[in-house]
Amino acid sequence: MIKTIAKPAERKQTACGECRSTCQSACKTSCTVGNQSCERITREQKIERK
């Protein structure tokens, strides 16, 4: 039996370049790419919440 846990949502924007820099050096803990959210969508959601 196979159960789907997560699948990517359909994206409205791609390659817009709005994302934050993604330093992966251990000394900075900025982010690993996969830990990040899409900056643009996050920002739009914040605006929607307001």
- Site residues (CB under 8 A) for another protein? 1-9, 11, 13-30, 32-39, 41
Give the shortest CB-50-to-another protein separation in angstroms: 15
Q: Is 1 helix (H, G, I), strand (E, B) or coil?
A: coil
**Tokens 């899409």 -> residue:** 38
CB of 30 to another protein, least distance (A): 8
In the bound state with another protein, the residue whose beta carbon lies nearer, of 7 and 50, is: 7
- Alpha carbons 15 and 24: distance in angstroms, whole number: 20
Query: By C-alpha distance, which of 12, 31, 6, 11 is closest to 21?
Result: 31
Q: Indicate the residue among 14 and 47 with the shorter CB distance to another protein.
A: 14
